[in-house]
Amino acid sequence: MTIIPAIDIIGGKCVRLTQGDYAQQKVYSDNPVEIAKQFEDAGITRLHIVDLDGAKAGTIINLSVLESIASNTNLVIDFGGGIKKIQDVESVFNAGASIATIGSLAVKHPELLEEWLMEYGADKFLIGADVLDEKIKISGWLEDGGIDIFHFIGMMIGLGVTNIFCTDISKDGAMQGPSIELYKKIMAEHPEIKLIASGGVTTMEDVIKLKEMGCTGAIIGKAIYEGNIDVKELATLNLKP
């Protein structure tokens, strides 16, 4: 299981939202590079960066943050938020990301995603499924995607994608535990995917439970920043790659 700390960016700062609400944001650091270095020093090898400004605006805003983190660490980075055209994908890879995270575009324009998959290969993409009541939400969780999670994953499998992370928006930032039952349903219906859990991971017990049920990774944000989970403890559990 891969442990993937999250750095969410608004205005160049490391923040967390509660249940995707931009009005409920808390700034944890003015220096995301230092946060990323702390993760690496603790033994973490992966990082999930979300350009929340970009997700809301529909265009990449905080590419310089990615460049700074990539040039100052050896972390394997996936980056998302505002990726809408192939030039954006190229920019993200050129800035140091190993993987491009795609959410809204995969729902609205799967034909574009298919072109990118043919150009770069499926392993260069991580598909984000943001869910509320089993329905996909897009555009920084602000719009209804018009499809449920199970049909969406079926679409992605049809394109050859198996690397998918699912965020239950109702759990995200709430510090009440991950959406275990939803993940069980997803893996029962689509056992071929490599499912990464995201949202609500609060304790080490949550992490172990997700590992035992077959999730291949866990994206963790607020629980680390609030001190509920120690990244050094995560690293010593051999849950990283």
The full set of domain ranges for the chain reads 2-236
pLDDT band at 146 (very low <50, low <70, confident <90, very high): confident
- Which stretches within the chain are classed as H helix? 32-41, 52-57, 63-72, 86-94, 104-108, 110-120, 149-158, 180-189, 204-213, 222-225, 231-236
Q: Which residues are catalytic?
A: 8, 130
pLDDT > 90 in the chain, percent: 78
In this prediction, residues 171-200 reach a mean pLDDT of 90
Do residues 47 and 55 touch, judged by C-beta distance below 8 A?
Answer: no
5 against 143, higher pLDDT: 5
Do residues 56 and 22 touch, judged by C-beta distance below 8 A?
Answer: yes
**CB-facing half-sphere around the CA of 100: CA atoms within 13 A:** 28
Question: For residue 240, is pLDDT > 60?
Answer: no
pLDDT band at 134 (very low <50, low <70, confident <90, very high): very high
Report the alpha-carbon distance of residue 176 to residue 178 in Å, rounded: 7
Assigned architecture for domain 2-236: Alpha-Beta Barrel (3.20)
SS3 145: strand
* CA dist 177 → 50, 114, 199 (Å): 21, 34, 8
Q: What is the pLDDT of residue 25?
A: 77
pLDDT > 70 in the chain, percent: 94
Report the alpha-carbon distance of residue 48 to residue 241 in Å, rounded: 15
Q: What is the mean pLDDT of the chain?
A: 91
How many other CB atoms are there within 10 angstroms of residue 166's CB atom? 26
Q: What is the pLDDT of residue 138?
A: 80
Question: For residue 175, is pLDDT > 80?
Answer: no
Q: Which sign, positive or negative, has the C-alpha torsion 226, 232, 236, 241?
A: positive
**Environment class of 183 (CB within 10 Å of its CB; exposed 0-12, middle 13-18, buried 19+):** buried
The most confident of 22-26, 98-102, 164-168, by mean pLDDT = 98-102
pLDDT tens, 45-55? Answer: 999 999 999 98
In this prediction, residues 150-166 reach a mean pLDDT of 96
29 Rama class: left (phi>0) / alpha (psi -120 to 50) / beta: beta
* CA dist 59 → 55, 56, 92 (Å): 7, 8, 12
Report the alpha-carbon distance of residue 232 to residue 157 in Å, rounded: 35
Do residues 89 and 118 touch, judged by C-beta distance below 8 A?
Answer: no
